[in-house]
Amino acid sequence: MEFCSTSSTVPNLNPSRPLRSLLPSISASLSNPFLQFKNRPFNALTLSSFSRQIPLLGPTFPRYSKHITASAATSSVAQSTEIDRLPADIKVTETKEPNSRLRVSVEVPRAVCEDCYKRVMDEFRKQAKVPGFRPGTEVPESTLINYVGKQSIQNATIESILKRTLPHAMSSVTGALQDSVRIVTKFSDLLEMYSSSNFVRYDLIVDVAPEIKWVPENGYKNLKIVVELDSDIDALKVSEQELKRRHKSLGILRIVTDRGLQIGDVAVVDISAKTIDQDESKVQNIPSAETKDFHFDTEDGDNVLPGFVDSIIGMRGGEMKSFALVFPESWRQENLRGVCAEFTVECKELFYRDLPELNDSLADKLLPGCTTLEQVKEALLQKCLEVEKTAKDQATDNAILDQLCKMVEIDIPKSLFEEQGRQLYGSKLLELQGKVKLNEEQLASLSSPKAVNEYLENQKENITAVIKQNLAVGDIFKHENLQFPTEELVKEVENSIAEFKRHKQEYDEERVKDQVQEILEGAKVLEWLRERAEIQYITK
């Protein structure tokens, strides 16, 4: 029932911190064990050594590629894992561009082009079966060109030039981000250049690890943080509510026949609502407020629209009533804030709870293992105190991360933004998949390039903030020479892998290690900052 308030009294204990590498397509990544959430079927990256949930999905710190992949719009350039020795040096010029991007201009001398041409011809001689020539026989160059085709040979030569020279060009680039390299010179221009002068010059664009500027410099060492805590996060209050809930669950619902609805009763109601407007043509139904056969507990009045409970008190079974209410400006659905609506409620059935006396005899039923009511109260209070501390610590961490985000200036490269955004979108899609079983058509629509690009555009501010927070944390870990015990890393990796195996999930051991290491690094930085920060707690 959407007119009920569903805001949690406990802050998010598991903020989304996306993975560094998402599978090529979102639909394919749905089985990726790294992208599971707490309260979802399984999460192998929950660290056992922490009292609260450190972000389960590791931060996106830049990783620099050892092997660069490039692609041109009109050609497929083979990947190279080794740098091939060239007969002459190429000339490489780097020019800085906005968004942590470099333009790398590469001039390939004639000697290199000729050597690539020779290699291509030798390869064609080995593979081509030219009529009139036995295998192993030297085929004249002109005959081979006529048989294979001049265009095919030139295409292969350009690809050979790019394949051999690209690793040399990238060897001088510091901090290149993986999979961010792309050749921007048109393949047709390369062909024309080569055919006219046996010389090739091409440009490529590469994103590099962004520089992090702190404002003020080293300002993170003297953080002043104001942490807002939810007023409802009170361990004693919550434990009393939990005890009351458990007590109510032991009661029996009995039909009310001789009076109207009062606090403590449960009513089965049908609810509908529509906007109020003098112009009848503008009156609209409010679908999110409509429900049928809803079992409404009047003691949950704090979670519904203000004034709703008071308006239905006294209603009898079979009675219908209409009344007007205004959605408050703090309502979570922005389109309903300030809207005056007419609600119509039909009370179909009315029940009261016949509760057993709350004493020691109920202890084991209220909380298995307890023998007295005081033991139940104490155990529930201790659990709620743990939740309260966890919520307070998490709120502190979130406030610190928000402050770090405001203190850094980073020229974020496009490839890093898009990668982070796609990972966040993948996480959202997985969360949705966990709630609603999407069919193939729905999944294809939600994972389409259009849907992803719309998300990147709409969530630009949020994606940017996540990147800035992650990079800031990584920078602090490095500059402050923070460390954590190696045995802790080994233990957590083993625990995570054991969980993957137990749930029969595929995993990559190196990737698990990287993820766990980044989580531990983030936890260490937050611990270091909390010890040095000036923190003020206020209740909102």
Domain ranges (residues) in the chain: 28-62+214-232+373-539, 91-209, 252-354
The helix/strand/coil state of 287 is helix
Q: Residues 484, 524: contact at Cβ < 8 Å? A: yes
Asked if the model's pLDDT at residue 43 lies above 50, the reply is no
Residue 227 has pLDDT above 70, yes or no: yes
Pairing verdict, β 101-108 and 252-255:
unpaired
387 Cβ contact partners less than 8 Å away, ≥ 6 residues apart? 10, 235, 238
Class of domain 252-354: alpha beta
Q: Which residues are within 8 A (CB) of 391 and not within 5 positions of it... i.e. 6 or more apart?
A: 10, 11, 13, 229, 230, 233
158/191 Cα distance (integer angstroms): 7
Count of H helices and E strands in the chain?
14, 13
Who's near 270: CB < 8 A, 6+ residues apart?
291, 292, 293, 294, 345, 346, 348
Q: Which fold has domain 28-62+214-232+373-539?
A: Trigger factor, domain 2 (1.10.3120)
Query: Rounded mean pLDDT of 495-507?
Result: 87
Tens-digit pLDDT profile for residues 392-430: 999 999 999 999 999 999 999 999 999 999 989 988 888
Structure tokens at 441: 């058509």
Q: How far apart are CA 265 and CA 16, in angstroms?
A: 39
CA triplet 362, 368, 370: central angle to 5 degrees? 65
| SS3 state of residue 352 | strand
Task: Tally the residues of the chain.
Answer: 540
Measured CA to CA, the distance from residue 72 to residue 157 in angstroms comes to: 15
Asked if residue 130 lies in contact with residue 139, where contact means CB atoms within 8 angstroms, the answer is yes
pTM for this entry: 0.64
Q: In this model, does residue 34 exceed pLDDT 50? A: no
Distance CA 103, CA 453 (A): 25
Strands 224-229 and 534-539 turn out to be: parallel
Show the 3-state SS of 459-507. Answer: CHHHHHHHHHHHHHHHHHHHHCCCCCCHHHHHHHHHHHHHHHHHCCCCC
What's the whole-number mean pLDDT along residues 483-492? 93
| CA gap 430, 35 in Å, rounded | 7
pLDDT class for 330, splitting at 50, 70, 90? Answer: confident
Report the pLDDT value the prediction gives residue 169, as an integer from 0 to 100.
93
pLDDT at 533 over 60: yes
pLDDT of residue 170: 92
pLDDT value of position 396:
94
Task: Provide DSSP, 23-83.
Answer: -SSTTGGGG-GGG--TTSS--TT--TT-SS---SS------B-SS----BTTB-PPP-SS-
Tokens 């092997």 map to which residue?
67
pLDDT tens, position by position, 49-96: 433 333 333 333 333 332 333 333 333 333 444 678 899 999 999 999
Beta partners for residue 102, in sequence order: 96, 206
Do domains 28-62+214-232+373-539 and 91-209 share one topology? The answer is no
**b vs e for 341-353, b when ≥16 Cβ sit within 10 Å of the residue's Cβ?**
bebebbbbebbbb
Q: What is the pLDDT of residue 1?
A: 52
Omega before residue 216 within 30° of 0, cis: yes
Cα 104 to Cα 68: distance, rounded to the nearest angstrom = 14
Question: Looking at per-residue confidence, does 247 or 3 come out higher?
Answer: 247
Of 313, 303, 319, 306, give the one whose Cα is nearest residue 264. 313
So what's the pLDDT on residue 334? 86
User: Region 491-516: what's the mean pLDDT?
Assistant: 88
**Average pLDDT of span 276-295:** 86
The CATH superfamily holding the domain 91-209 is: Trigger factor ribosome-binding domain (3.30.70.1050)
Amino acid 76: pLDDT: 34
Give residue 373's pLDDT band: very low, low, confident or very high (50, 70, 90). very high
The model's confidence at residue 235, banded by pLDDT at 50, 70 and 90, is confident
| SS3 labels along 107-172 | EECHHHHHHHHHHHHHHHHHHCCCCCCCCCCCCCHHHHHHHHCHHHHHHHHHHHHHHHHHHHHHCC
Over its C-alpha atoms, the chain yields an Rg (Å, rounded) of 33
Nearest CA-CA partner of 519 in 480, 491, 479: 491
Query: What does the CA dihedral 60, 62, 68, 71 come to, rounded to 10 degrees?
Result: 60
Q: What is the pLDDT of residue 304?
A: 85
Q: Distance (Å, rounded) from C-alpha 492 to C-alpha 515?
A: 10
Strand partners, 347: 269
414 in Cβ contact with 101 (< 8 Å): yes
| Dist. CA 514–CA 63, nearest whole Å | 11
Q: Is the pLDDT of residue 16 over 80?
A: no
